[in-house]
Amino acid sequence: MIYQNERAIYVKIADRVCDDILSGKYQEDERVPSVRELAAEYEVNTNTVLRTFDILQRDEIIYPKRGICVFVPPGVRHKIRIARKQEFRKHELPEFLRRLLLLGMAIDDVVKAWEERQDTKG
């Protein structure tokens, strides 16, 4: 889960917060859980979450409101999607396509699996 692979935990938590924004768990202009709340949720030190918040604020994924907490800015869901799509195209898609070729799979197999998944979401 959060402790697997070589990426730093605070980066993984930042990714999770972005996932939560994309999924609608955190809406625009809505409060994000506090440092202590996220530290408890992910069972990490508060300093780890502080590093997470530093990244997210630097990338303008969250913004602080003085004396309250941090919030999700308007338009950030679109910003995250664009960044994630670029990252996917650059790093994950080439490996995915390579594996399709190695396995002798056609793009039609992928389309069929996609359509089946969409049908189950209903």
Q: What is the mean pLDDT of each run of 10 residues along the chain (122 residues)?
A: 73 97 95 95 96 96 88 97 96 94 93 89 64
Of 7, 3, 2, 30, which is closest to residue 87 (Cα–Cα)?
Answer: 7
Strand partners, 63: 71
Cα 100 → chain centroid: 25
Structure tokens at 21: 């924004």
Which amino acid, one-letter code, is at 46? Answer: T
Name the pTM for this structure: 0.81
Q: Which tokens hold the place of 49?
A: 């979450």
